A = this chain, B = another copy of it.
Amino acid sequence: MVEEESDVNQHDKCSVEWTLDVIGGKWKGVIVFHLLEGKKRFNEFRRRIPGVTQRMLTLQLRELERDGVVHRKVYSEVPPRVEYSLTEFGQTLEPIIRNMKTWGDEYARRVAERQAEGQ
C-alpha cells in the first residue's frame, strides 16, 4: 500500500541472507565448488582443501546436508566408503559459486597489484 521509497523491503533483505546462511560458512563455498565436478569422498576434500580440519569438514558437510545442498551416500563396506555429491537443489548454486570464483580471482589479482605498488 505504502510505496514510498521501499521497493526494497524485509523480503529482499532476508533473501540475500538466507543464501549466506547456507553457503557463508568458512569452507562451504569451496566444498560446493569441488562438488561441481562430481562426487567426492571425505579424504579427497581434505587433500583438495588444505587447511581444513577433519572436524570442520565434517561439520560443514553435515550442515550442507541438513540444508539439502549435499547428499551423503554411505557404502556398507570395509573399509568404509562415503561419497558426497550435490543434490539437484545444490546444483542450483552453480552460478553463484562460479561467480564467486571469478570475482575471487579478480580480487586476488587486485590485492597482488596493490602489494606490487609497494602500497
Interface residues of A (CB under 8 A from B): 7-8, 10-20, 22-24, 26, 28-30, 33-34, 37, 48-50, 68, 89, 92-93, 95-97, 99-108, 110
> Interface majority SS on A: helix, strand, loop or mixed?
helix
* CB of A71 to closest CB in B, whole Å: 15
User: If A22-B107, A24-B20 touch, does A15 touch B48 (CB 8 Å cutoff)?
Assistant: no
Q: Are B16 and A101 in contact (CB under 8 A)?
A: yes
Q: Are A19 and B29 in contact (CB under 8 A)?
A: yes
10 A-B residue pairs with Cβ-Cβ distance under 8 Å, sorted by A, are A8-B37, A13-B33, A13-B50, A17-B26, A19-B100, A19-B101, A20-B26, A89-B110, A92-B103, A96-B103
B residues less than 8 Å from A100 (CB atoms)? 15-16, 19-20, 96
Partner of A33, one of B12, B33, B50, B102: B12
